[in-house]
Amino acid sequence: GAGVSQSPSNKVTEKGKDVELRCDPISGHTALYWYRQSLGQGLEFLIYFQGNSAPDKSGLPSDRFSAERTGGSVSTLTIQRTQQEDSAVYLCASREGQYTEAFFGQGTRLTVV
Amino acid sequence: GENVEQHPSTLSVQEGDSAVIKCTYSDSASNYFPWYKQELGKGPQLIIDIRSNVGEKKDQRIAVTLNKTAKHFSLHITETQPEDSAVYFCAASYTGGFKTIFGAGTRLFVKA
């Protein structure tokens, strides 16, 4: 595709349910990132992938959060037993190399009710 | 740990004036410093970047300066226009990998 694609664009879920957020990066981009942005706030680093491996998972808020990337392409961020404080926009980005632009998707707006 | 601080959180200027946003980073191993602009309802987009071997870079009305000794870098926008109104994020990338940490953002308002 032409850019980073995220799905769904909006997700409303009940507290306690699990959710999966999907990111399709730009083809050929080796690095993939997940960030969380709460309303009016900055970008909170969650995790990044280099290929299929995740060298740094230090940003994941709790063990309810996990992410995987398969085939060096699509990534899924899973949140188990969602809580209201998980409500935010989850942004995915990909980049080709270390000193190159990170291209962001439009984000998934998650609302936990 | 790695941290990027950004100031101010909000900045209001008159059209035609200059705007300056400042950031500091904690890890001296950082070697790449991009700036992103985020408009309402969209993902951030790169507007300018600088590598640690360069002290200043300019692109039309936008310039970025880097002081490695002080671990400071700044974004300068001259002749501001209403369409410059957005949230601006600084970021620092770390030598050890591709990890990129963002500042908290600056909401810029340009009044016509």
Contact A77, A67 (CB under 8 A): yes
Please, what is the Cα angle at A61 between A78 and B33, to 5 degrees?
100
User: B66-83 pLDDT, tens per residue?
Assistant: 999 999 999 999 999 999
Q: Do A42 and B105 touch (CB under 8 A)?
A: yes
**The pLDDT of residue B90:** 97
DSSP alpha helix (H) spans, A18-102 = none
Chain A residues inside the 8 Å CB shell of B93: 98-99
Strand partners, B71: none
User: A88-100 pLDDT, tens per residue?
Assistant: 999 999 998 878 8
- The minimal CB distance from B100 to the residues A41, A42, A102 is found for A102
User: A41-52 pLDDT, tens per residue?
Assistant: 889 999 999 888
Q: Do A4 and B51 touch (CB under 8 A)?
A: no
Chain A residues inside the 8 Å CB shell of B104: 41-42
Average pLDDT for chain A: 93
User: B21-42 pLDDT, tens per residue?
Assistant: 999 999 888 989 999 999 988 8
Residue A90 CA to residue A36 CA, distance in Å, equals 5
Q: Structure tokens of A24?
A: 């399709």
B41 or A75, higher pLDDT: A75
Percentages of chain A per state (helix, strand, coil), in multiples of 5: 5, 50, 50
* pLDDT for residue B89 is more than 90: yes
Strand partners, A32: A49, A94
